[in-house]
Structure formats: structure tokens, C-alpha cells
Structure 1
Amino acid sequence: MTDVKAKTQLEEHALQLVEAAMKAGADAADAVAVTGSSLGVQVREGKVESTDRAEGEDFTLRVFIGKQVASVSSNGIADPKGLAERAVAMAKVVPEDPYTSLADADRLLKDIPQLDLKDPREVTAQELTELALEAEAAGLAVDGVTKSGGAGAGWGTSGLVLATSHGFLGAYERSRTSFSMTAVAGDGTAMERDYEFDSRTYWDELTDPKDVGKIAGERAVRRLNPRKINTTQVPVIYEPRTARSLLGHFAGAINGASIARGTSFLKDRMGEQVFGTTIKITDDPHKPRGGATMPFDAEGTGAQKLELIIDGVLQTWLLDGAAAKELGLTPNGRARRSGSTTSPGATNLTLAPGTKTPEEMMKEIGTGLLVTDLIGHGANGITGDYSRGASGFWFENGELLYPVSEITIAGNMKDMFLNLTPASDLDDRYAVATPSVAIEGLTIAGS
């Protein structure tokens, strides 16, 4: 959807699918039309390795026959009548779903807000190449960096249209530019690598590529000659890029679908203290230029900013229409499309920062571990048990002493959340925004 004409055509296609479904015998229907284009460049050692461009359109039609629901997808709608007839035929033979339906008409968004989601600038392959090369050169210039692990830059636009049989028609467009650099330090079996990246809605807000490359190089060099440590229990500080995963685990634990299935370790904790008394977590779908900003959800309903955690107390679940109906609650505009159904999900999550810098936290803690990288997916959403491979830096008297690797961090997220303290260095660039966080009482499994 690069212009008004393309947007109008996509809206017409979505409406055609809904109309065809109703003529084919559906009781209700909705259609999602998605279009996008992307451009990417990869460089290594000062040379372009690849340049890729992609464009496409996809359509998903969902139909309801009573409580039965089915969907079909296609990358074109040359035959909307045929697609609709297939979807209706499928719906007639599937089991009933007592919870999935279109949103109630009184919940549909009437006035769609115009959000600042798309940079009018069209980025070229040459500009992306220069961005990646500049970041790589800065990384290679760092003393101790021996080679480049590659640098890349990408730009893309996407558009979405949602049309329903009960009167909703909405559309929005977004753009995103991102780039990264990976630096390698050392030689042979003693090599270490690390990276830095940035991603923004507007080109003019991107971090200076020299800074991105320099940070990648410095991060790689400081990881050289890592040590193993003995198994111990100490406070752990997660820097923002690793702390984001903790906020992601929290979002999964308050997903209404998981609550309805009884598969969340927070399923019985609504209205209870699940974080420390100073903690505030919000979810804002209208965050200016946010990574997940959107004017309406996958059901065509408006979504307001949610205060998920206030003073450490859990206030609400993330709910789409189906999860809310199953739980006997009111939806809060967090629907995402997932095949023939929707599922709840967060938008722009933010953990409010604290008052102390990470350096001040380290001095206050004295001895502990700074986590800069996590490996694996060892977080159990049902029990809360947490076990992740990690690497980082050992610190004593508030000073980083040496890098550590081949360790595992273990605990339970119920205790981790209660003992979590945020620092002041909020990284607000991405859909999950968090500062560094300190957590006491974790076990470090080492030698």
C-alpha cells in the first residue's frame, strides 16, 4: 500500500471476499488483506554479498456457519467466489467453537485514529548499503576486532486491511528500517563475537551507524578470554537486550488464552502482588512510532493503553474476544489474527524505569553477574520454572572483572518477578521496552 490507489484496491478486494462469503452461505465473515515490500542488503569485509527485494499480497477469509468457523488464504483473489465457497464448505464440517465469533458490533471502532506509522521516505538499496558499510567499518576499526561477522540493513513497508460482514472497514500502513553489525574478536578457538543493531519507524531517527559498529566491536573484544565460574547463588543484572525476554515471559503468562486453558503460572493471580511494590508495566498500542503500534486490533476494535501492573499488582489479562468470552470478561482490544481464529497478544510493552543506573546498582549489590547474552528457551509458562544458558561478566565491588561463559541461570519466575528491580536506562526503541533489571536469589550453575 504505497499510495492511496493501492490502499483503495486492497480495501475493495477485502470487501469482495466478504461479499462472496455471504453469498456462498456464510452467516458472518471477515477478510484480512496484507501487502508488503522489503529491501535488504548484506555486506562483509567491505563488499556487498547480497541484495534482496520482495513484494507480495496475501488474503485470508474467515467464515462462520453458526458456531463453526474456517478460513482460507491466498496470495491473490482472481476467484473470490471459489475461495468463499471453499471456506464455507470447510466450515460446515468442522467442530463447533463456542467462543470464536466476530466482535460485537457495539465494540467496533468507529473513528480510526491516524497514527504516525509510516515514514514517507522511500529508502534505496544504495542508502542501505552505505548504512551497513559504515557500521562495519566502525566495528572493524575497534582495536582487537579481527574480522567482520557481516553487517546488514533492511527497509520495508507493510499495509493491512480488515473488512467484516457487520460493517467494519479499516486500514493502516507502517514502515521500518533496521540495521546491524556483528564483530569478531580473537583468533582460532579463542574467537568471540557480538553484535549491535537498531530499528526505527523513521530513517532520520536511526542511531549513527558509526556508533552501532563501534558498540558491536567493543562488545566482542570485551568477551575475550571468558572464564568458568563455580556454581553459586548471587544477584543477577540483565542488560536491556536480555531483560526484554523477561517481559516477554510475563506477557505470555497473562495471555488470556493461556489463562482460559489453565496453562499459566499466573492463572490465579489477578489482583495479587506479582512484582515488587515499585513496579509498573504498561501496554500501549498507540505509542508514537512504536514497534507494534496499530490503530485497531484483529477484530476491528479499538485498543487503549492498559496498566498491566500497578505498584506490583496484576490488573488484567491480555484479551481478545474469544478468550474474554471463555473467561466471562470484557475484551480489551488485544486480538491478533492466527489462522481461522484470533489470539491475544501484547502491543508495545514497557517496564517503567527505576532511579538508579546499572553502575549504581552494581556498586550497591557488590558481587554478582551481568548477563549480556541468553541461550535457549528454558522458561516453562505452566510452572514458572526458568533455566537459560547465558554469558556475561562477573563483577565485584561494583566493577566488571572478567567475562564468563558456559553457565546456566536457574530460578522460578514467580520469585524472579517479585525480586526484580529496574534500573534507569530504559531502552525505548522496540515493541518490548525495558531498562536493565536486577534480580536477587538466582542460582548460577557453572563448573
Structure 2
Amino acid sequence: MPIDSTEETSQRLARLMQTVEDLLKEAKQRGATAAEASVGSSAGLEISVRLGSVETVEHTRDNGLGVTVYFGHRKGSATTSDLSTTALREAVRAACSIATHTQEDPCAHLADAALMATDLPDLDLYHPWPLEVAEAITIATECEDAARGYDARIVNSEGASLSSHTGIKVYGNSHGFVAGYPTSRHGLSCAVIGQQGQSLQRDHWWTSARAPTDLTAARVVGERAAERTVARLGARRIETCSVPVLFRAEIATGLVRSLMSVIQGANIYRRTSFLLDRIGERVFPEFVRIHEEPLLPRGLSSAPFDGDGVATRSKDLISDGILQTYILDSYSACRLGMQTTGNAGGVRNLRVQMGELDRNGLLREMHTGLLVTELMGHGVNPVTGDYSRGAAGFWVEGGVIQYPVEEITIAGNLKRMYAGLVGIGNDCDYDGSTRTGSWLIDSMTIAGE
């Protein structure tokens, strides 16, 4: 994939920043009292191989722009993928027209000018990969070959995929704030199918990073996918019971995401969260700390400013088990009579403080119960906290894995599950913007046979 030189990247960034400035100027000329715009440009290579043959090779190049105008407290927005001068003017015109039909909203305005980011640190987010198609095919093939050759019980493959993307993001508003930065992201994944008797199982593994040198080796990714698949062969059903449940580290991220959803500003001001009016109250045991690190160098979700132009900052969301803050952009903060937390666009690089035990230590702590390695469905109610998901994993007795299990449902309530968290492991072994060890919950209902 051809890579722009440093000078060419700087020139593209300057052009996109000028595009945003032109949009803001056009909005002002059309009578808008305020405006904001974001523009992005990305390019990438995606290839996939299956059973040793190339299935797809895609070169991608995308542009996108969004503009929002304000006439007092009336708001209109428009988007386009065409960055021509004519299309940009049409987008502004459309946004202004939409604003004439919207209702007054006292919270429809830009974030406070005093909160705009002024210090834009280099977060080391741009590491382009001059990857040729032949090299990409070689890497993906090596990954799949490692998986297929791991064990004779690996009988089929869903393939391996390699991707490499670069892009530039720019945001600006009529406070005079216009800024942007280039980014890159690369990834490799593999999924294979195993068979033992009549039992067929599938599993996968992946790696993702800002810099290609930070990716896990292709062979290791393939072997990990096969290892996970083989471990699931011979899965059984179990009887309905109530036992402790250990969520493997990468699966436990789902519990973190559920927490982020219920403390997100929109769910709070709409009063559709079971953690409504709970800031300052204990949600987890006191050993739990969950913090955000948006300025983490090479972080997969790092950003010096949020989608409102507000400076991002590190902060605890949970400290000593106590809910410290909601996740707010400027609009939700206004609706709640609070100040934005710099989270327009979501949270960035969540870190759950890990404990002293590894996964085997947590299994011994659990003694008898279920290790969850896969979840299916989306059975989480943010209003009540009720939780019910299809699951697969391993039955544990005496602190040792006994056999794989499948076709079960685990159920509980997030309020009770969070309060009943027994321990967090130190076994984080995956790539992702949310990092945690395994979570041991004291008791959940397992619906089986």
C-alpha cells in the first residue's frame, strides 16, 4: 500500500483543516450564530485468505464530513462523502435549511470555549505500514497455516484477515478551534473449525495495534485461534444451577462496556439507567478501580480532544468501588446541569486495575463453577440491570477445568453482579482499548438441561 511521505501527510492535514475553516466561514455567511464541522480521510488495504487461497484483496479510500449549524438554539446537521467545493457548500446549505425546521433546544450549542483543547500532545498514533499485497498475503497465509497445522482435529477454516489503515481526523468550530492529527491502525485475525467425533467447534484470535511492529506474530495468532478451538471440542450440556462464574479477560470487557452504557450521559438524562443518581455511591467492592487514559501513547482509542473539541483528560470512573462521574459530552452535561467530562464520542482507553491472581489462581478461588469464554445475544436491560446471555465455556471443579460446556444461558442482574465481584485477575492477554483481567462473580444462575 503506497504511503504518503511526512510532508504529504502534513499537506493533507493542512488541506482538511482549511476545508473545515471554509465550512465554518460558509455557515457564518449564511447567518448561523455558531457552527462545528468534522472531516476525515482514510485509506487502507484489507486482504483475506482461506484454505491457502486468496479470497479478497481490497484497497479502500474514504472521505467523510459532517457539519452542524446553530441559529440561536435551533440546530441542523448534514453529512457528505464528497469533499468538492460545491458539495461542501450544499452540505452547509442543507444544514441551515434543516435548522429552520427544528425546535428550540436550550442545550443546542457548542461546548464552552474555555474548555477547548489548547495543548495537543503528540500521542504517537501514526505508524503507516508500506505493506505490499504480496507481503500481506504471506503474513495472512502464515497465520492460517499455523492454525491449520496446530492439531489434526482442525478440519476447516474461516480464514485469516489482515488489515492496514491510515487516516486523518480534523474537527473545528466557530470558537476558533480547528485541529487534527493523522492515525493508523493495523490488525490480523484468524478463525478455524475443529472436529472430534460429531462435535464441531469454532474459535478465533486476533491482534490490533497502531504500529505494525506492535502486532502479535502471525504464527502466534494462528496457534492461539487453533488452541482455543481444540479446547472446546467435546463440549457438553450441564444441569441448571447457581454457581460462581469467571468471565475470561477478553469476555469481561463486555461487563465494562455495559457499565459504560449505563453511566453514559444520554441514558442518565433520559432516566433509562439503573445507576441514575448514584454518583458518590458504592457500585463495586472497594478494590475496584476503573480509569480512562485518553492521552496514552499509541493507545487504540487515544485522542487529545473529544468530538466537541474539549480537551481530554485521564480520570477515574470508579475508584475504591465508588462511582465518581458519568460520561458526558457537552449536550448531555447541559441537560443534567453538569460540566462535560470530555467524552463526546465515548470513552478512550479504559483500564481496570488488576489484582494479584492469574487465571489459574482465580479458578482455584472459584473452586466449583463456570469459566465463560464466549457470550451470545444482547440480553442486557440498562433500566433494571437484568442480564441474560447465551454462553459457552468450561465447567470447573476443585479449581481445575474439567470439560467444555455449550448451549447454556447465564443470568443475573448487573447491580448484583458488580457488587458481587470477588476478584479481578492479572491475566489480560489480548489487544484492545479496554484492558482488564478476568472477573470472578460470586454467583449467577446457569440455565442448562
TM-score in same-fold range (> 0.5): yes
Q: Measure how far apart 1:228 and its partner are.
A: 0.4
- The one-letter code of the counterpart of 2:42 is G
Residue 403, structure 1, aligned to residue 409, structure 2 = no
Aligned to 2:425: 423
Q: Secondary structure at the match of 2:17?
A: helix
Q: Secondary structure at the match of 1:251?
A: helix
CA distance in 2, matches of 1:83, 1:199: 35
CA distance in 2, matches of 1:226, 1:350: 33
Residue 128, structure 1, aligned to residue 130, structure 2 = no
The 8 Å contact of residues 146 and 186 in structure 1, kept in 2 or not, is answered as yes
Q: Secondary structure at the match of 2:219?
A: helix
The 8 Å contact of residues 129 and 164 in structure 2, kept in 1 or not, is answered as no
CA distance in 2, matches of 1:35, 1:105: 26
Residue 444, structure 1, aligned to residue 428, structure 2 = no
TM-score normalised by structure 1 residue count:
0.96
- The one-letter code of the counterpart of 1:87 is A
1:390-423 C-alpha deviation (Å, 9 max, x unpaired): 0000011111111100000000000111112201
- The one-letter code of the counterpart of 2:91 is L
CA distance in 2, matches of 1:282, 1:7: 31
CA distance in 2, matches of 1:363, 1:181: 31
CA distance in 2, matches of 1:85, 1:406: 54
- The one-letter code of the counterpart of 1:106 is A
Residue 301, structure 1, aligned to residue 303, structure 2 = no
Q: Measure how far apart 1:105 and its partner are.
A: 1.2
- The one-letter code of the counterpart of 2:24 is V
Q: Measure how far apart 1:268 and its partner are.
A: 2.2
Residue 156, structure 1, aligned to residue 139, structure 2 = no
Residue 74, structure 1, aligned to residue 75, structure 2 = no
- The one-letter code of the counterpart of 2:319 is I
CA distance in 2, matches of 1:232, 1:81: 63
For the aligned residues, what is the CA RMSD? 1.4
Residue 255, structure 1, aligned to residue 264, structure 2 = yes
The 8 Å contact of residues 119 and 201 in structure 1, kept in 2 or not, is answered as yes
Aligned to 1:376: 377
1:290-334 C-alpha deviation (Å, 9 max, x unpaired): 111011111111011010111101100111111111111111110
Aligned to 1:435: 437
Please identify, of 416-425 and 125-134, the stretch whose mean Cα deviation from structure 2 is larger. Answer: 125-134
Residue 90, structure 1, aligned to residue 66, structure 2 = no
Aligned to 1:65: 71
Please identify, of 424-433 and 313-322, the stretch whose mean Cα deviation from structure 2 is larger. Answer: 424-433
The 8 Å contact of residues 40 and 125 in structure 1, kept in 2 or not, is answered as no
- The one-letter code of the counterpart of 1:392 is G
- Equivalent positions of 1:351-362 (< 5 A) are 351-362=352-363
Q: Give 1:272's match in structure 2, choosing from 276, 281, 285.
A: 281
- The one-letter code of the counterpart of 1:257 is A
The 8 Å contact of residues 269 and 336 in structure 2, kept in 1 or not, is answered as yes
Q: How many residues align?
A: 439
Please identify, of 426-435 and 199-208, the stretch whose mean Cα deviation from structure 2 is larger. Answer: 426-435
- The one-letter code of the counterpart of 1:78 is T
Quickly say closer, same or farther: Cα 1:301–1:382, change in 2 above 3 A: same
CA distance in 1, matches of 2:375, 2:90: 48
1:191-239 C-alpha deviation (Å, 9 max, x unpaired): 1111111101111111111111111111111111111000001111111
Please identify, of 220-229 and 94-103, the stretch whose mean Cα deviation from structure 2 is larger. Answer: 94-103
Please identify, of 108-117 and 34-43, the stretch whose mean Cα deviation from structure 2 is larger. Answer: 108-117
Aligned to 2:107: 99
Q: Measure how far apart 1:107 and its partner are.
A: 1.1
Q: Measure how far apart 1:89 and its partner are.
A: 1.5
Q: Give 1:283's match in structure 2, choosing from 292, 304, 310.
A: 292
| Structure 1 alignment gaps of length 5 or more | 337-344
Residue 8, structure 1, aligned to residue 28, structure 2 = no
Aligned to 2:35: 29
Q: Measure how far apart 1:132 and its partner are.
A: 1.0
Aligned to 1:200: 209
Q: Measure how far apart 1:97 and its partner are.
A: 2.0
Residue 240, structure 1, aligned to residue 249, structure 2 = yes
